[in-house]
Each structure stands twice: as structure tokens, then as C-alpha cells.
Chain A
Amino acid sequence: MTEFLQHMINMLILGSTYALLGIGLTLIFGIMRVVNFAHGELYAFGAYFVYFTAVMLGFNFFVSLLIATVAGCLLGALVEVVLLRPMRGADIDTTMLIMIGAMIVMQNTEQYVWGGVAKSVSTPFPETPLVVGPFSVSWLRLFVLCAALALIAAAYFLINRTKLGKAMRATFQDRDTASLMGVNIQAIYMATFAIGSGLAAAAGALLGPVYVISPQMGNIASLKAFAIVILGGLGSIGGATIGGFILAFAEEMGAGYISSGYRDAMGFLLIIAVLLFKPTGLFARSERIG
């Protein structure tokens, strides 16, 4: 039982960052209809950026996290303007191929710039974990959980309570009508991609110091983000949040009770199962955002 609860604690921490990844991807897919293969590379970008600012430039750790998130937003906006804006109206396979190209370029640029050796980031948190009864959790992970939950709340607020969010939801429902009502569609698309990318970069910036940072980390992150989004239904933020936790739960259970080698397989098996039995995702009544 104790072991199970410890797994649950790990699940919460992992799930919160997975949810961040998933929300970013589901926003981009829901509003723009772009299958963003570069999503995981934004995640890796966030992690490397923290390494760059915190370790190489010696910035404060928390400031570095903030800078990495902002940098992720900017990179996302750049990708959108350069690669996706000229291809507006192209079919989903075409934009998917462009994003695969972008993924290859970004991943290999990371490999070229940083080399294949994994990097690690030291944090201002104490080494000794917080121990409550039989459970232990490191301070860093606790911080990651709080920061991720705060970002998830911020994303909800943005989508449901702000004017930008309203415009995004309108664009999702009916692009042409939204445009007629005076919504600047190009700006909404850029903002969507920037926010989605920023969330991915934030997830990478938070998880990078927990694990190690390597150029390949983006690959598995992209695939996991797809898994999360499919679990929740494409375009559903609430679904992506819960999907993140379900994936983390499946992984913790799989690694804890079956075999740690198959940890990463859990997500894929979940995807296959969901798509076969309930292709619209677990939570989407129909496709919707918000």
C-alpha cells in the first residue's frame, strides 16, 4: 500500500508536466488543425534553454525558467510565421510533413550545438527530500508540481476568461465567422502556436533539471504528447489535463508492477486501445475547446 501511494505521488508530479505538454499540443491541433511533430523539440528547447541560462550564464534558476518559457513562445511564433503561415489552407498531411521537417532540423541542431552528452542542471533546492511518514518526495519535484499546476490554471484562465481566449474559442468553432466578427485570424494562429510552444518549453524547463537533458528527449516527448491528446480527445483542454495524469498513472503502474523496460510502451498501448475502442477520446463529447 505504501508503495502504491508513493507511485501515486510520483504520478501526480509526472502527470502535471504531461498535462502541460498535452494542453499545448491540443490547443495547436484544435485551433490550427496542425499535427505538431515539433512539439517535443520545443520541450527539449525549454530544457536546453534553462541549461544555457542557469548553468552557462549563471542566472538565477527561477529567472531561467521564466526566460526559457518566454523563449519557447518566441520560437513558436517564429515557426508559425515562417513555416505555417505561407501554407495556410494546405491539407493536414502537408503541414504534418512540414512539421516533421522542422522536427528533424531542430533536433539535429540541438545535437550539433550541445553534442550527444547529456547535460544536467543543478537547482537551489536542498538535496534531502521532504519525508512525511513513509513517503518521500524531493523539494525540486514538489516545486515542479506546483509550478505546473499554476501554469495549467493560467492556461484555463487564458482560454476561458480573457478576450484572447474568447477569440481563440471563436476561431476554433468557426474560423470564417470569427473573421467576419473582426477577429484577426492570423494573430490568433500565431498566438495559439506561441502559447502552445511556450507551455511545451515550460514543461521541458521544469522536467529538464529533474532528469538529464539530451537531444533525443524531444522524440519521446512528442509521442507522449500525442498519447495524452488522444486520450483526452483532440482539441479538449480538460481532456488533455486528465489525459496527462492517466498517462502518468499508466506509466507508473507499468514501470512499478510490470517491467520498467516497458514504461514508455504504456502510453502507446493506451493510444492504440483508446483509438480502437473510443476513437473520439475518453472525454470529448464532440470535438470542442475549453
Chain B
Amino acid sequence: MKRLLPWLALLAFASVPMWLKDPYLLNAFITTGIFIVAAMSLNLLLGYTGQLSLGHVAFFGIGAYTSALVSLGFDVELVGGFHVVHEPWPVWLGFVLAVVISGLCGYIVGKLSFRVRGAYFVIVTISFAEVVRLVALNWVELTQGPLALTQIPPMRLGFPAVGYLDFYSKQSNFYLVFGVVVLSYVIISRLVNSRIGRAMVALKENESLAVSVGIDVTGYLVLAAVVSAGIAGAAGSLYAHYLKIIDPDVFLFLYTVTMVIMVITGGKGTLAGPIVGGLIFGFVPVATRKFASPEVQWILYGLFMILIVFVLPQGIVPAIEKWFGIREKPPVATVAETGTQDTR
């Protein structure tokens, strides 16, 4: 039963566009899917390595802008009258570059910011996201600033000889996002169930002990940051090509908060957690929009977040597993089990 459950869920979601014709609900599924990808990437850092990155939206936004700019083209004058002209490239290349550039940013940010931990790390990551947002707002020549990048082409896949598939319709976008969700899930689950994943959990549980047994802590943290940022960049790219317009507001702190709420609610450090949390928070606005204004919805989000931390600090998925007596095989952290907990 436990083994069957993911496959049943997969089938159920794959069938959604066949019976669901309401465009508003389909749209909710697509945006929810995009945010689930982002939340899964955050979970890799927050849940498995224990690093709360509150600047995660930076990678999402960088992915969105990279992908949009690669497929739109740009002409930027750098210092000294030197022009960088970029002709529009195919959209799929934009997607790939979004992943690569976001991953690269994850590498740089990781290299620099994993020198500090805890509250300091949180604040460096927020600062990074704010700086990137201000650059997107002020580098008007490249990003159009507050006027937004518009007319971003939809995703297009195919080969010159065979023909192309443009992702215009909601149905096709649903499957595109669905595919990326599944792919990200597979990548993350392979990663955390490998030797690397065990090392990550070990350093989360007791960093000094992990160091003492020879785990290259910074190396693993940076690796997690690169993969996490790359996946967040993929989500950003999907977002840009689905909405066809992006402005510097994609970097708002509230989006990071949304991802954090999804991960915490669902259960950090579990593979299904971000999906469950993402579905809940993706559809709460749908359910409440009839009687609640956006402010009231956000107030409810905030209260819900506090409530979850108070009542179910581990999140929904671990609570359900405990309830039904199912134990997900935990990534065995041999180091952690023998270690004494650092009391400070």
C-alpha cells in the first residue's frame, strides 16, 4: 500500500486535465505546481541540511529573468560604451540556462554565506535576495524595471525536422509543470537517499561531529545549495513562460515566506511534505476567495503558520505517518545517533 500510494497520486494528478475543464482551477493547479517545485528545492536546504534560506526567492526570480531574457533577447550598454547584444534564443535553451545560472548563483551564495550559520545565515540570504530585487528594479535597460518584461514567449519543444509543440494552452502547461514536479521529485529523492543525503542529514543533526568524522560540511552544503538553486531556477523559468510577464515583484520576501510555509506545513525533511503543503496553500486562496480579501487570506496564512509551529512542529506528513503507524525509512544518520547533542 505504502509503495503504491505515490503511483496512485501520480495517476490521479495526471488525469486532472481530462476531467477538469474550469480554466480558473487549472490555472490554480499550474501555479501551485510551480510553487511546489520551488518549495521542494527549499526543502532540500531547510529540511535536509537544516539551513533556513530566507532568500530563496532570489533563485526563483533569477531563473525567471534569465529564461525570459534569453528568449526575448536584450541590448545592454556596459561601462565604456561597450554593447552586449543578445539575439533571442529558443525557449528551451532559456529554461536550461535558467537552471544553470541559478545553480551558479547558488554556488556563489553558498560559498560565501555558509561561513556563517543560524541567524546570520538567514540574514545574509535575505540580503542577497533584496540586492537582486533592487538590481532588477533599477537596471531598467536590461529588465525594464517596474515596467516589467512582457510578451515572454511560451515554452516550445521539438525538433526542426519533426515540428514544434508550443505550450499555449492550460492543459499543455499543466503537463509541462507536472513533468518538472516529477523530475524534481526524482532528483531530490535520489539525492537524499544517497550517501550525499546521509551526509547532509548527519551535518544537520550534529555539525561538529560530522566534521570530526571527516564529512566535508561546506562542500555538501554548497552542493545542496547548487541543486536547490537550480531547481528553484527551473520553477522560475516555468513561471515566466506561463505568465508571459514578470516584474521585480517576483523577488518579494512574501514569496519566500509562501515557500517556507508550504515546507513547514507539509513537513520539512520529508519528500512528500512540500507537495502536501504546496497543495494546501495553493488551494486555500481558491477556497477562500469568495469571502476573504487578499489581506484576510494572508492573515489566515500567518495564523496558520503560527498554529502549525505550535501544534504540529514536524508538519503534516510525519504526523500522518505516525498516525497510521507507517514509518518512512529515515535517511540513516549513523553519525547523529552516536553523537551527543550540542546543548547551546
> Which A residues lie at the B interface, using CB under 8 A?
29, 35, 83, 86-87, 92-94, 96-98, 100-105, 107-109, 111-112, 219, 223, 226-227, 230, 234, 259, 261-262, 264-265, 267-269, 271-272, 275-276, 279
A101 touches B306 (CB 8 A): yes
Interface residue range, chain B: 35 or more
Q: A87-B310, A104-B305, A275-B116 are in contact. Are A96 and B52 (CB under 8 A)?
A: yes
| CB pair B295 A111 closer than 8 Å | yes
Q: How far is the CB of B279 from chain A (nearest CB, A)?
A: 20
Nearest opposing residue in chain A for B313, CB measure: A94
Q: A262 with B309: in contact, given A105-B303, A275-B120 (CB under 8 Å)? A: no
Cβ-defined contact, A264 with B130, below 8 A: yes
Residues of B133-161 contacting chain A, CB below 8 A: 134-135, 137-138
Which chain B residues border A265 with CB–CB below 8 Å? 130-131, 134-135
A223:B127 contact, CB within 8 angstroms: yes
The residue in chain A whose Cβ has the minimal distance to the Cβ of B117 is A279
When the two chains form their complex, are residues A97 and B119 in contact, meaning their CB atoms are under 8 A apart? Answer: no
Name A226's contact: one of B126, B254, B309 (CB within 8 Å): B126
Judged by a CB distance under 8 angstroms, whether B215 is at the interface is: no
Assembly CA distance A88 to B298 (angstroms): 26
**B127, A264: Cβ atoms under 8 Å?**
no
Q: Hey, which chain A residues are within 8 Å of B92, CB to CB?
A: none
CA distance A86 to B311 in the complex (A): 11
Q: Total A-B pairs in contact (CB under 8 Å)?
A: 111
Write the chain B residue with the least CB distance to A277: B115
The answer to whether B122 touches A98, judged by C-beta atoms less than 8 angstroms apart, is no
Contact assessment for A230 and B134 in the assembled complex, using a CB-CB cutoff below 8 Å: no
A residues less than 8 Å from B123 (CB atoms):
226-227, 230, 271, 275
Q: Closest approach, in angstroms, between the C-beta of A249 and any C-beta of chain B?
A: 18
| Contact between chains at A112 and B295 (CB < 8 Å) | yes
From residue B49, how far is it (CB to closest CB) to chain A in Å? 12
User: Are B120 and A264 touching (Cβ within 8 A)?
Assistant: no
Q: A86-B310, A108-B302 are known contacts. Are A100 and B122 too (CB-CB below 8 A)?
A: no
A238 to B106, CA, bound (A): 35
Please, which residues of chain B bring their CB within 8 A of the CB of A275? 113, 115-116, 120, 123-124
CA distance A261 to B52 in the complex (A): 29
* A273→B296 CA distance, assembly (Å): 38
CB-based contact B309/A279 at 8 Å: no
Which residues of A sit under 8 angstroms from B128, Cβ to Cβ?
268, 272
* Nearest neighbor of A99 in chain B, beta-carbon distance: B306
CA distance A264 to B248 in the complex (A): 15
Q: Does B332 contact A (CB under 8 A)?
A: no
- Partner of A92 from B112, B119, B264 at Cβ < 8 Å: B119
Report the separation of the CA atoms of residues A153 and B115 in the bound assembly, to the nearest whole angstrom. 35
Task: Rank and list the top 4 A-B pairs by shortest CB-CB distance, nearest first.
Answer: A104-B302, A105-B302, A268-B127, A261-B138
